[in-house]
Amino acid sequence: MSEYKAIRVAYGEALAELGAENEKVIALDADLSHATMTCTFAEKFPDRFFNAGIAEQNMISMSAGLSTMGYIPFASTFAIFGAGRAYEQVRNSVAYPHFNVKLAMTHAGVTLGEDGGSHQAIEDIALMRVVPGMTVIVPCDANETRKAVKAAAQIDGPVYLRLARLPSLIFDNDMPFEVGKANVMKEGSDIVIFTCGIMVETALEAAKDLEVKGVHMAVVNIHTIKPLDQAAVLKYSQSCKRILTLEEHSVIGGLGDAVADALIGNGDFKFKKLGVQDRFGQSGKPDAILKEYGLTKEAVINEVQKMIN
């Protein structure tokens, strides 16, 4: 039977494990620790946990200061607040001096659901991707999240971890994780789909159904948006010639644009970005919202059939 676990839950567990291994790891939260799951760390290491209250900008500045004392701060809140409300502090207080702060932001994308468009971060990848020196990671499941947290701690400099709210399928525990190195989830020769986060499961489901129809779609998990695995992008684009990107994020500035940047001047391709099409999110059940924004297995299959035909 398939096992599901929320990526944010895996983050909380991984952070606590990391805290046991390295006493320099500390956690900060903006009064949402039972949602971001930093409460797991707080219970084990109360002296290394700091609740900044509903003051995300202060939390980021606190993290920056603590990093100068040799600590490795993991700062967490909802992505809309950590990447949006505190953007200036992320840029000037963390990234500009290249401080060793890890921004682990949860509840990203439209699957936040009923909280609506005001809380659904659909531009956070774009915001973080444009910040000089920022590493941007979007893990696809609980196992990849654990590996990403440990990898983030080993990077000397700012890292943005984009973490989802909903339970998602857990893939093979032996799947490798290397920052800047894509994982090929399925081989294919007719079309390639580059995806990340919880959309990896959707892409694989679509690929399975397409295989029955005689269409062989490669599925590539781009868990690191920056630095992008350009070699993997070029390899599969050149062998397939038809390219889809799929992300629970705006099509402006996210994974799709990162892939497009890598392709410029490197051949002629059929190319389509699937994601949020220049719209804000809205309140509703996550499944209904995904259907509304064309982020379903059926939407992927429909687009593939258009490109193939």
Residue 248 annotated to the active site = no
To which residue do tokens 């895996």 refer? 10
Distance from C-alpha of 109 to C-alpha of 122, rounded to nearest angstrom = 5
Tokens of residue 124, six digits? 């956070």
Query: Count of CB atoms within 10 A of residue 132's CB?
Result: 9
Distance from C-alpha of 23 to C-alpha of 44, rounded to nearest angstrom = 12
To which residue do tokens 């979007």 refer? 138
DSSP 80: I
Catalytic residue among 13, 21, 23, 56: 56
Tokens of residue 218, six digits? 């490669």
Q: How large is the angle between the packed helices 255-263 and 230-240, nearest 10 degrees?
A: 70
- Per the CB < 8 A criterion, the answer to whether 112 and 120 are in contact is yes
Tokens of residue 167, six digits? 């339970």
Mention every residue, 6+ apart, whose C-beta is less than 8 A from residue 148.
Answer: 137, 139, 161, 177, 223
Catalytic residues: 56
